[in-house]
Structure formats: C-alpha cells, structure tokens
Structure 1
C-alpha cells in the first residue's frame, strides 16, 4: 500500500536539492485574491506555490512571498 503524502513530503531532484511534493496551485485564482490565498496557504504549512506566468497572477504570488518573509509566517 502506498503511503499518503503530507505537507512535509519532499521529492529529491537530480541536483540533490529537495522540494515539497505538495504545492498550492493558483490556477484560475483571480489576481486580486492571489496574495491573500497564498498567505493563507503559508499559514497552514504550504511551502510550494504552483504558479505560471500564463495564469497572469504571479504578481500576487510574489507579493505574498515578500509579505511572508516580512511577517515570518
């Protein structure tokens, strides 16, 4: 039986670095709500935000990262 993933599960890259297996996706999140959504995700333990320039909300992701760093969430 396969084990379940959780927010602390990681995946080892060929470089040797590890990244979180589970990410918070912001696809179709309105640009005006992206920062708040990401901040809430950080509060519950997410460390990986799945984003893309095509979503056109990457500015909110960046704002959330800067705010997280300033607030130490």
Structure 2
C-alpha cells in the first residue's frame, strides 16, 4: 500500500503558538504518528495582535509578519 504521510500546521484563534501533526492517511483509519507545539515568542504574538485593529502600514506589517510566520513554520 502507498504511504500517505501528511504534515499539518496551524495556529488557532488563541494565538498561543504553532501546532503540528504528522498523520498517515494511507489506510481506511487515519493514524496520528506525531504531534508537537511551538509557542510564539511574546513579541511575535504582540505583532499578530497589533494587526487586529485598524492601523498604519497594515499591508507592510502583515507582509513582514507573514514572512516571520513562514520561517517559524519551516
């Protein structure tokens, strides 16, 4: 049977960090192989929260934040 390993990453609305799961979806019953959580640094969490209200340079701040999150996810 073909291996069907998938890695999922997410951050929920609590903004506490990044959650990851490695799952095998090759069988009829999915199986979680591993999971991990990495908390956000306080400064990063503050930057995310600062984007919620309307503010200056939102597009620039959002783009820079997206780059930081992409590096963290990687």
Q: What interval of TM-score do these two structures reach, taking the shorter chain for normalisation?
A: under 0.3
**What TM-score comes out, normalization by structure 2 length?**
0.27
The structure with the largest alpha-carbon Rg is: 2
Q: Which has the higher helix share?
A: 1
Q: Which structure is higher in strand share?
A: 2
